[in-house]
Amino acid sequence: MTDAAAVAANDAATLTIRDNRTGSEYDVPITDGTIKAADLGKIRTAEDEPGLAVYDPGFVNTASCRSSVTYIDGEQGILEYRGYPIEQLAEKSSFLEVAYLLIKGQLPTKAEYDAWVHEITYHTFVHENVKGFMHGFRYDAHPMGMLMASVGALSTFYPDARNINDADNRHMQIVRMIAKMPTLGAWSFRHAQGKPFVYPDNDLGYTANFLSMLFKMSEQKFEADERLVRALDVLFILHADHEQNCSTNAVRSVGSSQVDPYSAVAAGVAALYGPLHGGANEAVLRMLKRIGKKENIPDFMQGVKDGNERLMGFGHRVYKNYDPRAKIIKKACDDVFEVTGVNPLLEIAQELEKIALEDEYFVKRKLYPNVDFYSGLIYEAFQFPPEMFTVLFAIGRTPGWLAQWLELVQDKEQKIARPKQIYTGDRTLDFVPASERWG
Ligand SMILES: CC(C)(COP(=O)(O)OP(=O)(O)OC[C@H]1O[C@@H](n2cnc3c(N)ncnc32)[C@H](O)[C@@H]1OP(=O)(O)O)[C@@H](O)C(=O)NCCC(=O)NCCS
């Protein structure tokens, strides 16, 4: 399209709606490929009747915000944070630099980066009382439940966090939360194992310190293999944001009440806890273990194609192409297995992928490996129990949740989240007191 044609098309960017109930016609402006729901609300059959609304359970075709954090093109398999391709960030950046990019919107100078790393490193400790109440959980408490409760509880330690209109205050809480999530996550893990909590080691980098808090025993210093540190750092980068997914929507929805960011992020952790969101990599592992050996693959695949079950770790609501994160994780597998030895389930996963990428059933439906297909294998190689997989996801996603929260609280167009409903219940019944109903 020429420039002139583009301008003309833009000028004509309206939608004409004819309401056959009344014969009225409406011109509704189209902006950025969307129409305003409020414009539909002006379409009504009579002054005192409710306006037209959109029915969209799960918000599958509703834009809830304007955002400049993350761009996804599911058809092409593209994921960018603040415009930078995920492949380049995973290869050349670090998790803390990516966190800075997501929160601040641009890459840091050397001085900014050093100050950021310093601030985060020196906020990794939590109040001793946090330790006290984490000990109060049952011996078999799920670490994700512990993480959710303890992040929410931080709001009681930092009551000033509710001052969300002050930029310096917001910055302070963001630093605290990114810094303390690994401490809370590691302590949830240690609690389940009946092991003493390990305090942060501020000589170590973000991810190395996390591994130390997870695995250190009596040694003076825990130094994880650099290749493992890097692989986990990359996994954090890959999970750092994914635009308006379920947990981010939860953070924004709860945050829209202007509550403090700890409470809003606790809502994000809660959403991630659910099996439809954060639990798929665990399901992949269970599937691979059930298949057990390569010879069982053909029968399993036939079952999938007959509709008896799904090939877990395949398919995505947004990606209708190879999930770019899956490609990077597949490469990270090699580095991790070089240190830990190959997980025998890898061979089964690779064979499943090879078959699926050539099989008409999967090709026709545009089903490709997603981020969860290989990540469970890596986490297992680190000796994380499956309950910890989602905790790792939550630590990685924290900068994304906070970047989206920051955008929300500064966006003048945002309002408290309050969707409409289509009421399907009874109306105007006459209440009969219990004494009369029960005779
Ligand atoms: C992620 C997922 C929920 C996306 O679902 P969706 O976009 O709503 O897609 P649908 O459920 O409508 O599936 C479309 C078609 O592909 C099939 N399909 C989707 N995922 C499939 C899978 N993993 N294995 C086999 N078939 C699958 C469906 O049966 C459906 O086939 P049909 O048209 O013959 O009925 C879905 O692909 C899935 O369940 N994947 C496995 C779980 C998983 O890995 N989740 C992690 C996501 S990060």
**225 in active site:** no
Provide the pLDDT for residue 4: 59
Nearest Cα neighbor of 55 from 312, 398, 423 is 423
How far is ligand 1, taken at its centre, from the CA of residue 86, in Å? 24
Cβ of residue 393 lying under 6 Å from some atom of ligand 1: no
Which residue of the set 241, 260, 323, 372 is catalytic?
A: 372
Q: Is residue 2 predicted with pLDDT exceeding 60?
A: no
How far is ligand 1, taken at its centre, from the CA of residue 312, in Å? 9
Residue-wise pLDDT for 38-69, tens only, equals: 999 999 999 999 999 999 999 999 999 999 99
Q: Is residue 1 predicted with pLDDT exceeding 60?
A: no
**Residue 367 in contact with residue 355, Cβ under 8 Å?**
no
Provide the pLDDT for residue 7: 54
Q: Which residues pair with 73 in a beta bridge?
A: 78
Distance CA 324, CA 102 (A): 18
Percent of the chain with pLDDT over 70: 97
Provide the pLDDT for residue 39: 96
Residue-wise pLDDT for 251-307, tens only, equals: 999 999 999 999 999 999 999 998 888 888 888 999 999 999 999 999 999 999 999
How far is ligand 1, taken at its centre, from the CA of residue 323, in Å? 14
Provide the pLDDT for residue 439: 82
Q: Which residues pair with 72 in a beta bridge?
A: 79
pTM of the model: 0.93
**Confidence label for 343 from pLDDT (cuts 50, 70 and 90):** confident
How far is ligand 1, taken at its centre, from the CA of residue 55, in Å? 23
**Residue 190 in contact with residue 197, Cβ under 8 Å?**
yes
Question: In which element (H, E) is residue 16 found?
Answer: strand 14-19
Q: Is residue 315 predicted with pLDDT exceeding 70?
A: yes
Cβ of residue 329 lying under 6 Å from some atom of ligand 1: no
Provide the pLDDT for residue 281: 86
Distance CA 31, CA 211 (A): 47
Q: Is residue 330 predicted with pLDDT exceeding 90?
A: no
Cβ of residue 229 lying under 6 Å from some atom of ligand 1: no
Percent of the chain with pLDDT over 90: 89
Least confident of 65-79, 227-241, 310-324: 310-324
b/e sequence 311-328, b meaning 16+ C-beta within 10 Å: bbbbbbebbbebbbbbbb
**277 in active site:** yes
Q: Where are the alpha helices (DSSP H) in 93-225?
A: 95-104, 110-121, 128-135, 143-157, 167-193, 206-215
Rg value, the chain, Cα? 25
Q: Is residue 9 predicted with pLDDT exceeding 70?
A: no
